[in-house]
């Protein structure tokens, strides 16, 4: 069994990835289903990498 742990979902849309399309961001490799989604990620990597997930519900009670 291969030990490599790869996320099999596109970081942009969540579909199955094609390993041809990948990008490095902050030391992590992200995979995509298409060139288009890769470009989308590179436009706003902080969004798709999940670093700004709290942007809408960031209010403390
Ligand atoms: Zn995609």
Cα 30 to ligand 1 centre (Å) = 11
Beta bridge partners of 32: 18
CA of 41 to the centre of ligand 1 (A): 9
Q: pTM value?
A: 0.69
What's the confidence (pLDDT) of residue 7?
Answer: 57
Asked if residue 42 has pLDDT above 60, the reply is: yes
Domains annotated for the chain, with CATH where assigned, are 1-50 (2.30.170)
Q: Could you give phi then psi for residue 23, rounded to 5 degrees?
A: -145, 145
pLDDT, mean of residues 40-47 = 94
Region of 50 (left: φ > 0; alpha: ψ -120 to 50; beta: rest) is left
- Predicted local distance difference test score (pLDDT) of residue 8: 80
Query: Which run of H or of E encompasses 35?
Result: helix 35-43
Gap from CA of 61 to ligand 1 centroid (Å): 35
Q: What is the pLDDT of residues 26-40, one digit of tens each?
A: 999 999 999 999 999
């Amino acid at each position: 069994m291969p030990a490599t742990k790869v996320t099999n979902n596109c970081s942009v849309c969540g579909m199955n990835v094609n390993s041809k399309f990948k990008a490095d961001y902050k030391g992590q490799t992200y995979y995509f289903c298409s060139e288009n989604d890769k470009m989308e990620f590179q436009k706003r990597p902080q969004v798709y990498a999940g670093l700004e997930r709290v942007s809408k519900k960031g209010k403390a009670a």
